[in-house]
């Protein structure tokens, strides 16, 4: 198959209009899609590769702002537990002394003589008191919130001192 001047002109025209290589091959006739692509490449016609549309920075920022609002909502619900200042004092208990209403948060290492369990009154349907519930059950997306990771422990530290 040889490319005549007429076929080359038709290729340029159809290529410029945005036709696909398969459509051009069918219109010109007697040539394959690959022949059209090869000739277009040799003629340095603009690439017809269609890429996925990437959202602009503006739309990306809007999406990230929406996600942050959702995370703030979860976080504020979670922090509502530590806004209360009525933490009862620890009631150190050994394993044998624990009952279903005792906080079972371990303090220290089991190999140490000073090891004990918190012993405060646990919340209904949980094994821990309000304070230790904050440590045990992290809000969704906590790993993604690296900046605010240190925020809660500082706040809890203040609550512990005031308890």
pLDDT, one tens digit per residue, over 74-99 is 555 555 555 566 677 888 898 888 89
**Above 50 in pLDDT, residue 18?**
yes
Residue 74: inside a domain, yes or no? no
28 and 93 within one domain: no
87 and 134 within one domain: yes
153 and 96 within one domain: yes
Tally of CB atoms within 10 A around 37: 17
Residues in the chain: 163
86 and 24 within one domain: no
Q: How far apart are CA 65 and CA 53, in angstroms?
A: 21
Residue 72: inside a domain, yes or no? no
The per-residue pLDDT for 147 is 47
Distances (CA, A) of 78 to 63, 134, 136: 23, 8, 12
Looking at the chain, the whole-number percentage of residues with pLDDT higher than 90 is 18
As given in the structure block, the two tokens for residue 79 are 């922090």
How many domains, in total, are found in the chain? Answer: 2
Give the residue carrying structure tokens 């022949």.
35
Residue 140: inside a domain, yes or no? yes
């Amino acid at each position: 198959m040889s490319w005549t001047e007429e076929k080359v002109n038709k290729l340029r025209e159809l290529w410029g209009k945005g036709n696909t290589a398969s459509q051009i091959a069918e219109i010109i006739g007697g040539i394959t899609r690959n022949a059209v692509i090869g000739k277009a490449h040799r003629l340095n016609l603009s690439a017809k590769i269609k890429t996925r549309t990437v959202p602009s920075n503006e739309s990306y920022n809007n999406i990230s702002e929406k996600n942050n609002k959702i995370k703030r909502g979860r976080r504020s619900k979670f922090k509502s537990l530590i806004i209360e200042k009525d933490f009862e004092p620890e009631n150190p208990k050994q394993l044998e002394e624990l009952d279903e209403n005792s906080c079972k948060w371990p303090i220290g290492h089991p190999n140490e003589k000073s090891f004990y369990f918190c012993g405060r009154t646990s919340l209904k349907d949980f094994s821990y008191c309000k304070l230790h519930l904050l440590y045990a059950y992290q809000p969704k997306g906590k790993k993604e919130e690296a900046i605010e990771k240190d925020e809660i422990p500082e706040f809890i530290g203040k609550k512990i001192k005031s308890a």
